């Protein structure tokens, strides 16, 4: 994950934009008068909600192919694929 560094004044003026971006970042470092001032991190609940919103997004794409995953879970030195239960 990435870290973003912004000025405190810019963060206050554009709080909504940074609040939307925060779950995708590790943290936002706030700078005041050229020195580190604070770190802001998203809570785990917010990050988990963002991940759950993406669940099922591969349906209908090339990642939704059982043949592909059979090939992925077959090692070169195995004769049979690993069975997932």
Residue 18 has which token pair? 């940074």
- Alpha carbon distance 11, 44 (integer Å): 21
CATH number where 25 lies: 3.40.1620.10
9, 30 contact by CB (below 8 A) = no
Q: Closest by alpha carbon to 53, among 18, 23, 19?
A: 23
DSSP, res 3? E
Per-residue pLDDT of the chain (85 residues; tens, 9 = 90+): 589 999 999 999 999 999 989 888 889 999 999 999 999 998 888 888 877 877 777 777 877 888 887 777 776 666 666 677 6
Indicate whether this model's pTM tops 0.95. no
Which residues neighbour 68 within 8 Å (Cβ) at sequence distance 6 or greater? Answer: 62
How many structural domains does the chain have? Answer: 1
Residue 43 falls inside a structural domain: yes
């Amino acid at each position: 994950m990435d870290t973003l560094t912004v000025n405190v004044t810019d963060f206050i003026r554009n709080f909504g934009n940074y609040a939307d971006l925060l779950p995708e970042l590790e943290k936002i470092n706030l700078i005041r008068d050229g020195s580190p001032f604070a770190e802001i991190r998203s809570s785990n609940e917010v990050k988990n909600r963002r991940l759950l919103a993406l669940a099922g997004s591969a349906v209908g794409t090339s990642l939704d192919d059982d043949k592909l995953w059979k090939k992925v879970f077959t090692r070169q030195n195995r004769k049979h694929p690993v069975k997932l239960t």
